[in-house]
Structure 1
Amino acid sequence: MDTSDKQKVVLITGASSGIGFATAKLFAQRGWIVYAGARRVERMEELEDYGVNVLALDVTNKESSRIFVNTAKTEQQRIDVLINNAGYGEFGALEEVSSEKARAQFDVNLFGLSQLTHFALPIMRRQHAGRIINTSSIASDVYTPFGGWYYSSKAALNQWSDVLDSESRRFGIRSVIVQPGPTQSQWSEIAFKNGFDNLSENSPYGDTAKKFMKVFSLLSKESNATAEDLAKVFYRASTDKHPKYRYYNQFRDHALVSITRHFPRTYRNVIDKIFD
C-alpha cells in the first residue's frame, strides 16, 4: 500500500477512548482522512479538532454499521483501511456468565465487526485494494481462569481474520490481526467490573476471581505499553507494503504467545500453580 498518498481513507471503530481514540488521532496527524465511530459520540469531540469525521456507531446494529460505511463511501468514493477496534471483555467463570452476556460478547467482538466488514468489502473489491485490521489480543492464545468468553471471542476472531485473508487477498485485500498485550487504559477497569458483576452470591469462584484480578492488575500496572504505542502498531499494520498475519507491540507479547503455542503443558502448569 502506497503510504506517500496523504489522502488515504481509514475507518476506525471503538474510537471513543483508549487505543481507538489514539489511533484515530495518529492517522489524522499523518494526513489521512479519518472516520471514527463509537456509541458515545461526545467522547470523540476532541478528535474533531484534528479533522476527524466523528460518527455514532453501534457495531451490533446493522443499520448503524451500514450508515457508517456508506457515509465514508459517499463522501470519499473509497475506503483504504477498516480498523475493527470496538470490543470489550465479559469476564467471569464460565458457569456463571449468562448465555445472554456470552452472546453479547460475541455480538460485539466478532459478529458486529463481521457485519461492518461485509459492508466495506465490496468497495475495496472494486478498488482492488484495501486492508482490514482486526483488534484481537494475546488472550486469543494465552488463557487464564475467569476469562473464557472473552478469550474465546478473540480466538474465533483470529480464525475469522485468517479465513477472510485467504478468501479476499486475490482481490487485493488483506485481513490481518493486531494482538495487544496489557495496555494502560480504562479497558481493564470495565473488564474487572464485569467480572465481579457476574459473580453469584456466595460464588464458589470468589477466590479465583480475586486471584485473577490480582494477577491482571499487576500485569496492567507493570505494563509500559500505552494506547499511543498501539496506535503506531495499527499504523504499521495499515501501511506495510507486505503485511504480516500478526502484529505485536512488544517482544514479550509475542514471546508469551509463542510459549503458549509451543509449550502448552508448561504454560498450563504455571497457570495451575498461580490459581490453585
Structure 2
Amino acid sequence: MTVACESGDVSPTVLITGCSSGIGHATALAFNERGWEVYATAPDRSSIDDLEEAGCHVAKLDVTDPGDAGVVADRIVDEQGRIDCLFNNAGYGQIGPLEELPTEQLREQFEVNYFGAHRVARAVLPYMREQGSGLIVNTSSVYGRTILMGQGAYASSKWALEALSDTLRVELSDHDVDVVSLEPGPVETEFGERAIGEIDKLERTGAYEWFYTLFDTRRYGRRLIDRALGHVQPEDVAEVVIEIAESEDRPRRRIVGPWKYMVWLGYVLPDGVRDRALELLKRLP
C-alpha cells in the first residue's frame, strides 16, 4: 500500500465512521496529516464540518441506516477508484445492571456497535475483494475480552464484534483483506458522558444500589468509565490505528493502553478469582 503523496504516487483511501468526536475525529485528522484520502463520516453531517475544512472528504453515514454505507462506498470508488481501509469506529456504551436494562435498549446497543460494523463492512468488501487488497479495523475494546459489572451491554456487543472480526479475517484470507480488532482501554472522550446519560432509561428494581454508588458522578466521577486509571487520549488511539494501517505485518488484535495487563491477567486467573475481585468493587463506600 502506497502512503506517500509524492509526485506519481497514489494516496490510499480510508473510510472512517463515527467522526463527530473522540477517536474517530482524532483518527481522521491523523490519516489526513499522513497524506491519505480521508472519508470522514457521521450521522450528522454538520458535526464534521471542521474535518472538511482540514482537508478531509466528509459524508453523512448513520451505521444503523441500511442505505448510507453503500452510498458512501460507491462515492469513494467513483472518486478514488479504490477503498484501502475501513476504520469501523462508530459506537457507544450504555451502563446499568442487565436486569434493569430494557431489552430494546440492549438491541439498540448491538444495532450500532455490532450490526453497524457488519453493515459498513459489507458495503466495502466487494470493492476490496475486487482490487485484491484491503484492511478493516474494527474498534472493539478491552471489554471485548473482559467484563465489568454494570457494563454488560457494552461488553456483550464488543465480545460479539470480536467474533465477527476473527471470523471475517479467516474468511477473507484468500482475498488479501486483513481484519484487525482494535482494543482500547478507557479513552477520555464523550463516551462517558453519554453513558452516564443512559442511566435515566434504566428500570430500577432496588436490587443493585451498588451500581448507583459506583457510577455516581458526584462520588466517583467517570472513574469506572472513560476516566479510569490508565486512561488514554483519542490521539493515542489514532497513532495506533495509523501504525496498523501502514504496517506490512499487522497484528490480529491490538490493545491500546496499560489495560492490556488486565486482559492478560484475565487469561491466567480462574473465573472464580476474577469474580471475587469484582465483588470487592461492589463494596466500595
Which bin holds the TM-score, normalised by the shorter protein? over 0.9
State the match for 2:79 in structure 1.
Answer: 75
1:209 and 2:216 correspond? no
* Contact 2:143–2:158 (Cα < 8 Å) also in 1: yes
Unmatched 5+ stretches in structure 1: none
* Contact 2:230–2:259 (Cα < 8 Å) also in 1: no
Deviations, residues 204-241 of structure 1 (Å, cap 9, x unaligned): 22332322456672251644511111100111121210
1:262 and 2:268 correspond? yes
Within the candidate set 233, 236, 239, 2:240 is matched to 233
For 2:210 and 2:279, locate their aligned partners in 1 and report how far apart those are by CA, in whole Å: 14
CA separation of 1:117/1:231 partners in 2, compared to 1, >3 Å: closer, same or farther? same
State the match for 2:131 in structure 1.
Answer: 127
Question: Could you tell me how far 1:185 is from its partner in structure 2?
Answer: 1.0
Deviations, residues 27-78 of structure 1 (Å, cap 9, x unaligned): 0011000001111222211111221011111101111111121111111110
Would you identify which runs of 4 or more consecutive aligned residues in structure 1 move more than 3 Å? 1-6, 212-216, 221-224
State the match for 1:92 in structure 2.
Answer: 96
Deviations, residues 70-100 of structure 1 (Å, cap 9, x unaligned): 1111111100000000000122111111111
CA separation of 1:223/1:186 partners in 2, compared to 1, >3 Å: closer, same or farther? farther
Deviations, residues 236-264 of structure 1 (Å, cap 9, x unaligned): 121210110111222x2211111112213
Question: Could you tell me how far 1:200 is from its partner in structure 2?
Answer: 2.8
Question: What is the Cα-based RMSD across aligned positions, in Å?
Answer: 1.7
Unmatched 5+ stretches in structure 2: none
* Contact 1:146–1:209 (Cα < 8 Å) also in 2: no
Q: How many residues align?
A: 274
Within the candidate set 50, 69, 84, 1:46 is matched to 50
1:274 and 2:281 correspond? yes
Q: Mean alpha-carbon deviation: is it higher for 261-270 or for 241-250?
A: 261-270
State the match for 2:152 in structure 1.
Answer: 148
TM-score, length basis structure 2: 0.91
State the match for 2:18 in structure 1.
Answer: 14
Identity, % of aligned positions: 34
Compare the two structures and name the one with the higher helix fraction.
1
* Contact 1:129–1:171 (Cα < 8 Å) also in 2: yes
